Structure 1
Amino acid sequence: MNYLIAKTKGVRGEFFKVISNTEIYSMPENMLNSVTYDPSYKIEEDEWFIVDSFSEKEFFIDILKNRFFSTDYNQIPTTEYNNMEYLCAFQNDLIFFQKISDSLIIRKKYFSLSGAPIFVQNEPILIVNNIPDAIYNKIEDKLYFRKLSTISSIFPGIDTLYKEATQVETEQFLQSEFIQLDNGYDASKVKTANRKRIALAMDTLSTYSSKDRKSIFNYIKEYCDDLQYDDKNSCFKLKSEEDLKKLLFGIEQRYYTTVLGGEKRLANSVMVLN
């Protein structure tokens, strides 16, 4: 039996039945092109991220913990349609999720393109995407998704997979002996993207020996000619967000040279090959 459930907004938001006996979503054909979630990797159009052993994670939501019984849920009242936060379609051992945004609710006159067209006006419609935002496979105990920010409101706490450096951690990193701040740049000016990169860089640096760090800094100097380096004090001078980004990309070894042509490039995402 297939059931479409809607979760309403707010801390006290409820789950309501919407439609039954209808298959809302189909399993995408490219699910085999899936990789374990890694914040440093940017998936291609035909790829999905995976979180294994999803039921063991702290962000595993309650509605997935118990066996689903449709009788536990009331039919959604029309007054709650504008208050829907996301859809949840139970289709056998697969549960599909779609986040609801205002742009998906359309209020226009329309008629169905069918053998018996019906003209409708003053009744809003909700667009169901061809591809869901997330899919949970109960048998495999795996969550599939494409964009973490899209599903963070569906699975509260899942954004810890891509942690952001705290203010204290950001300040500590910028106080590192190999960094010298200049031109009024400081931790208060570090934005979200670089805070996330700092969190990754801190983990990476913790695995480096003193010899490794020296090699990495030489590597960064080789690729970032415009990133000022003070040879006397052995430190990089950071004047802006762009300077910090270049340093962080270097720590993650994102720069490389092509075999043919010797062109220097920056890797937009990274995947470790076994």
Structure 2
Amino acid sequence: METSAATPTRPPHQAATSPSPSPSSSLRLWRPAAQRNMRNQWSHLSAAKEQWLAAVADGRAHASALVNVHLSCRNMPAMDLGVLKDMPGIRDKANSKLALREEQYSGMLLSAYKEMVCQLSYLVEASHSMRCFSKAAPNCSITQFSDRQDNLNDSGDGGGAPVFKWFSVLEFESLAQELVQMFVSEQKLKRLLLLEFLSIALKEGVELQTSLNWGDELYDERLGSQRPGNLPLHEVLQVYLTTWHANMNINRSRIGEIFELVEEEMKIKLS
């Protein structure tokens, strides 16, 4: 007697399991989140770049004012005061006012430099936040994403797939790093110039810590060893001002090209 083959059935105790999402399914979920994050980070880069350049312009104005006041103070002993020359203590009073203005402009220059450091930190942070990672959410069936890595097996780059049309996360990161490196290099140069500008306001016998106390990374033994006898000449100070204004490590043409590439890929305008 023949028996028909029984249709296999799942044992009652065996629960159904959800299939793991396919790579194409995961990519479809990842890409919109990655695109949003990429737009945000490049917007942050654009804004920080503009704020950094604005702080540079402010710093040059303050440095120029500081240099002019310092030169006036330096030239005061030989300055022809005309009808005022016979007034008692006129030169001492003038020197006191110039010294006060030196202090004010030094503080304003330092504040501008602080702002540059702050904006540079934003540039670096944005350049390091372009990846989009799957977020482990307990008891949640909805796939979520974050710029923080929860799973060491998730590289956050979509397996090298394009985020929009052509560029992968790695290619976006490469462009961002090229951009940021310009500002890092220029910040180092600005630091050296800052030390020179601030040193001209130091008076013999005045300890460095009484006037400069922001961030150990700004100051080193080199500045502390400088004294008025080693002050730079007028011509040298003018070269310092020109160098500050020139942004010698900033290739504006290349920066423009980078943002044009990114804007074309994303189909948005960042600035």
Query: Which is richer in strand?
Result: 1
Query: Which is richer in helix?
Result: 2
Normalising by structure 2, what TM-score?
0.22
Which is greater in Rg?
2
